Amino acid sequence: MNLYRHLFPSVCLCIVTATVSVVWSGPSTAKSPPKLVMIIVSSSRLSDWYEHSPVLERLLTDGAPGLVNFFPSRLTRATAWMTAIGTGRPDSQFLPEPPETTPLTRLLKRHDVKLCVRPFHSDGMLCQYAFGTNIPRAEGAAQTDMEVVEIGWWFTQAVGRDLLWRDVDAEILRLVQCPNPTNTTVLVIGMSRTESLFPLLYATPDDRYRTVSSQSTRWQGLVSVVDIAPTILSFFNIPLSEAREAGMIGMPIQSVPAPRFPRESPVEYVKRLDQWTSRTHAASPLTNTLFAAYVWSVILIGFLILQITRERRSRIDIALAGLLAATYLISLSFIPLGYLNYLLSGRMSLLATAAAIGLSLLMMLPATRGGRNGVEFWVRATSLLILLDIFLHFSRFSPLSFALVTGSRFYGMGNEYASVLISSLLLSVGLSRAGKDNAAPAMTVVLFACVSLFATLTLGHSSLGANFGGSVTAAAALGTSTIALICPRWTWKQTATALVIVLLAAAASGLDFVHPYQQQSHIGRTFQLALPEIWGTAQRKLAMNQRFIATTPGSLILLPILISLSAWIYSSRRFPRSLDERFPLLRRALFGAPVGMVAGFLINDSGVVVLAIMAATYLTVLYSLLFGHRGSPSPDTAPSEVTP
């Protein structure tokens, strides 16, 4: 009885509180007006994640709904958007300034529709051309009737599929759960080839989607670009006849499309797609070898640091060597950890691992004369298999560019130049050491010029999906790294030579401007639009690099440390003499690869390029050990310390 006496008031209080909360919240829910949330995926780079991917072909043949509308350039995307929204097409090849207000905005305002926009990792270009520059941002989104979220360029720079999911899930859940999900309609619009894959954008990979759908949220689903304006007007019960009266020109007047959904639930759809892609893109044994060599090259650098600490007694040298090792290990964070499981599968991975361990032991041994043995033979044989794998996968569906260079499972095109970057650099290093010492620099420069010409002409062709940044990045990174490897000292003459080669390669890439404009690659169109377009492209790349570096964890510290420590280790007075005699290319590789990495990074803003040139950094060090001629100390030279 005492227990009942104490619990009865608490139970009554809970019942009263629950009743009051239900009664209080009921009228507000009933009176809340319907709200339209429009999500625009505006970045053409998002299409790169899926273009030429077997996933897209699989979805289209499998009957997945959705139309394919691909607008590769900023101009064509904005033109198609302005036409669909009723603003009108631009009269020239250059985009006009966005207006302060548009006919659609005036029409919505006439019907008391409160509108706000919010760029999500985007510059808000399409929102400005559709609704004008005077539209308020989403600070007051709770009191608006329509919220437009434009997912743009920086959405595609999320390195890693987990980060991509996390950002999109959080954004969409926020939109449909606040303030009243039962009266919210989510409208998904695609300005790229991803419309067939839009279930991936709003279907979360866990049960959170079931929570959203159980709240009776109305998902309009996939909507073609030409149906945007009619859908918006129909949602707010605005007669379509008023569109022409308001000045919306060229807008196709047609019925609102029915909601399109996959034949199964989005969660099951995503799971099935994920299982299919896992089977389709299983790494080959040779690709596993490449992964193993990639990771074990970092371990080789660690052995190098140990060798430096053994030969140097200065505390500052030991501290700098430790900082160099830590920096290289930190840079591994750019690699998705899921790819490390490739090291645990495949016989070729085990062979590459054993070869790397043997090579590491050779580094630790004292310098001796000769040096040819069975371990060196197998190491060189493994390296040739890796190089062969790189060349064999120079194709549109390259597993190298698909898995090693990117952080996205569904990426499949646009970065084959990374294969050219790595393999050409390593081939140049190997062949430059095959001839006499006095003939090696000239031969390597000629070889590099030929390879760069081949790479840029091939990648400049429109059918291979090249772009201005990719071609010039390959030329810049190849030039700086190769010249740094073959030259004992960096001089202004070699700098000028590198710049000339890069400019010639870029000019060769632009030769396709003789083709019709529709058949040209990105770089051909850029050259045809002349200097203002080139200057605008350079400004945009540099500005986005600044933003990318500022928002990438550790990159502000990583890049300067790589350059400064590489310059430190390149100094002949600091580098251990025994290592310099035993591995003559090692010192130049440690200096040249980061220089090439930064040279390419300054021109191209993609996180994919960062990963590609980091791979070139490690593989350059590895191949400098594999292809470099082993030196032997002269009889009167002892591997003693070198005083600074």
Q: Which residues make beta-bridge pairs with 39?
A: 149, 188
**pLDDT for residue 141 is more than 70:** no
Same domain, 252 and 387: no
| DSSP character string of 367-433 | P-S----HHHHHHHHHHHHHHHHHHHT-STT-HIIIIIS-S-TT--SS-THHHHHHHHHHHHHHHHT
Task: Name the average pLDDT for the chain.
Answer: 52
**pLDDT for residue 479 is more than 50:** yes
Same domain, 289 and 273: no
Q: Tell me, yes or no, whether 501 lies in a domain.
A: yes
Would you mind telling me the total number of residues written for the chain in this entry? Answer: 644
pLDDT of residue 440: 47
Q: Tell me, yes or no, whether 7 lies in a domain.
A: no
Same domain, 259 and 312: no
Sign, CA dihedral 450-452-455-459, equals negative
Provide the CATH number for the domain around residue 143.
3.40.720
Question: Which of 278, 313, 331 finishes a domain?
Answer: 278
Structural domain harbouring 549: 281-627
Question: Which of 278, 303, 332 finishes a domain?
Answer: 278
Q: Tell me, yes or no, whether 644 lies in a domain.
A: no
pLDDT of residue 325: 59
Same domain, 364 and 502: yes
The total number of structural domains in the chain stands at: 2
Task: Please tell me what DSSP assigns to residue 172.
Answer: H
Q: Which residues make beta-bridge pairs with 151?
A: 41, 120
| DSSP character string of 474-488 | HHHHHHHHHHHHH-S
Same domain, 296 and 166: no
* Beta strands at 146-151 and 115-120: parallel, antiparallel or unpaired: parallel
Q: Write out the two tokens for 122.
A: 């985007």
422 against 110, higher pLDDT: 110
Tell me: the pLDDT tens digits for 72-99?
345 555 665 666 666 665 555 455 677 7
Q: Tell me, yes or no, whether 2 lies in a domain.
A: no
pLDDT of residue 560: 65
Same domain, 220 and 352: no
Same domain, 216 and 337: no
Question: Which of 278, 303, 322 finishes a domain?
Answer: 278
For residues 173 and 189, what is the distance between their CA atoms, to the nearest angstrom?
A: 17
Q: Write out the two tokens for 591.
A: 């200096």
Q: Tell me, yes or no, whether 1 lies in a domain.
A: no
For residues 586 and 325, what is the distance between their CA atoms, to the nearest angstrom?
A: 15
pLDDT of residue 285: 41
Q: Tell me, yes or no, whether 643 lies in a domain.
A: no
SS3 459: helix
For residues 233 and 115, what is the distance between their CA atoms, to the nearest angstrom?
A: 13
Q: Tell me, yes or no, whether 453 lies in a domain.
A: yes
Same domain, 224 and 368: no
157 against 115, higher pLDDT: 115
Same domain, 388 and 377: yes
Residues 6+ apart with CB under 8 A from 467: 414, 521, 522, 523
Same domain, 449 and 562: yes
Same domain, 459 and 602: yes
For residues 55 and 347, what is the distance between their CA atoms, to the nearest angstrom?
A: 28
Tell me: the pLDDT tens digits for 159-211?
333 334 445 545 555 655 555 555 666 666 655 433 333 333 333 333 333 33
Q: Tell me, yes or no, whether 418 lies in a domain.
A: yes
User: Against a cut of 0.85, is the pTM above it?
Assistant: no
Same domain, 201 and 289: no
pLDDT of residue 27: 39
